[in-house]
Structures are given as C-alpha cells and as structure tokens.
Structure 1
Amino acid sequence: MALTVFLVEDNPRIRESLIPALADLGSASVMATAESENEAIAWLGKHKGQWDLAVVDFFLKQGTGLGVVAWCAGREPSQRVVVLTNYPAPSTRSACLDAGADAVFDKSTELEAFFDYCLQAAPD
C-alpha cells in the first residue's frame, strides 16, 4: 500500500525535487503541500486521518514547523511526522522531538536516512 505524504515546505525547488524523489520510492505519493504554518494546519484540520506521513520543514514562509508538529499531537497512532530541515542543530532536533516529531533529518546529509524512514513507514 502506498504511503500518503503531506509535504510542508516553502522552498519551491526543494518541493519540486522531493515530490518525484518520494514517488520514485514506489511506495509514496505526495497528496498535498503547504508553504506556511497556517496553511499546513488548515489542511491537516480538514484531512484528519487521511495521511500517513507529514514531512515538515522547520522554517516556513510564515510560522515554523514546530507549530505544525505540535498541532499533529492528536494524530492517529499510525500517522508519522518528521522534520526535514537545513538547520539540524541539537537544539532544533530537541525542540522538534519535544513537540512530537517522530524523527528529524538534515536535508543536506541525511536524505538517504529520510528515504529509508519513508520506506519503513509505508503501511502494510
């Protein structure tokens, strides 16, 4: 079964490269995207239980990924939230995990680990 992904990323170039990269996994498809905290939360509120994995950037066009991650606290047990960031400082990682992220990945150096995580998160 395919992994349904909600992508929260404000950089169009990164979005445009992540969407096909996730599709190339063969088990993931991006069902929607958002560029800001408010836009992401609005979408999540309308689509509760309809996604498997939320991939959230830390810095957004408006707001931060922390607000999105915290909003997801009431998600279904099978739903996962990961932060994919260019700012993987220990304090950022800690804040994301404390807010409820399941994992944090560095866009520059941990993409392979991120894609492995996505493969493991696919529903059976």
Structure 2
Amino acid sequence: MLVDDSMAIQQSLTRLLASVPGLEVIGCAATSEDALSLIATARPDVVVLDVDLGPGGRGMDVLRQASQNHPAVKFMMLSNYGWQAMRTGFMDAGAEAYFDKGSQFMQARAWLADQATK
C-alpha cells in the first residue's frame, strides 16, 4: 500500500513496483485519514509511507496509530528529508526502513523486493 500526498509519486512508485515479482500495490492514500481507513480494510503486509502528507497529515501520526492497531504491518518511510535525526525518530517509532525520495528509490525497491520473498 502506498501513502503519499503526491499523485506523481504514487504513480511513479506503482510503476516501479510493478516490476517486482511477488509485489502488488493494493491501494493508495493521500491523507492520514484515508491511510488509516485503507490499512484497516485492506490489511496490507507493507505500507510505503510518506513522512509529510502536506495538509493531509503527518506520516508519524499514521505510523504510530497504525502500528498500535495493526502490529503485523511493516512500514517503509519515504521522505524528502534525509536527516539522520528524522530517520532515527521514525525507526524508533516502529518503521522498518527509511529512504530518501530524491536519491534512494532503487534501494527502496530492493528493500520491498526482499519483503516480497519473506
């Protein structure tokens, strides 16, 4: 499942992930509210979650609430912020991976491909 307030990023990720055997994007959300609702109904294995959902909310809020309500779901964070302190904060809150949108799309794809084989 993809959560990003940018439709362009959602489309790019959907295309990128279509080439990964064993992965299927089961839905997309652009706001915190939509993300929490979709997580509850779709029960994804992995959520690719943007750190900043613009006026639609914060990724940290989604991570904390969804992790508490759906502990089996894994979260991979995507961000335009590559700061180590930001990365550490999200990892401490329960994210399993954190990648920079500007330079780490292929590393994110590789991490997701690894999850598909588990």
TM-score by length of structure 2 reads: 0.88
Cα distance in 2 for partners of 1:45, 1:116 equals 26
- Note the 1:20-31 alignment, pairs <5 A: 20-31=15-26
Residue from 29, 52, 61 that aligns with 1:59: 52
Residue from 31, 41, 64 that aligns with 1:70: 64
Q: Which residue of 1 aligns with 2:35?
A: 40
Secondary structure at 2:75's aligned position in 1? strand
Tell me if structure 2 keeps the 8 A contact 1:8–1:34: yes
Computed over aligned residues only, the root mean square deviation of the Cα atoms, in angstroms, reads: 1.5
Residue 95 (structure 1) shift: 1.7
Residue from 99, 102, 110 that aligns with 1:105: 99
Percent identity among equivalent residues? 27
Secondary structure at 2:25's aligned position in 1? strand
Superposition misfits of 4+ residues, deviation over 2 angstroms: 74-77
- Note the 1:89-100 alignment, pairs <5 A: 89-100=83-94
More strand by share: 1
Q: Which residue of 2 aligns with 1:3?
A: none
* Aligned residues between the structures: 116
The answer for unaligned runs of 5 or more in structure 1 is: 1-5
Cα distance in 2 for partners of 1:69, 1:76 equals 10
More helix by share: 2
Alignment of 1:120 with 2:95, yes or no, is no
Deviation digits for residues 22-67 of structure 1 (CA, Å, limit 9, x no counterpart): 01112211111110111111221223xx311100001103111111
Cα distance in 2 for partners of 1:87, 1:121 equals 24
TM-score by length of structure 1 reads: 0.85
Cα distance in 1 for partners of 2:17, 2:110 equals 11
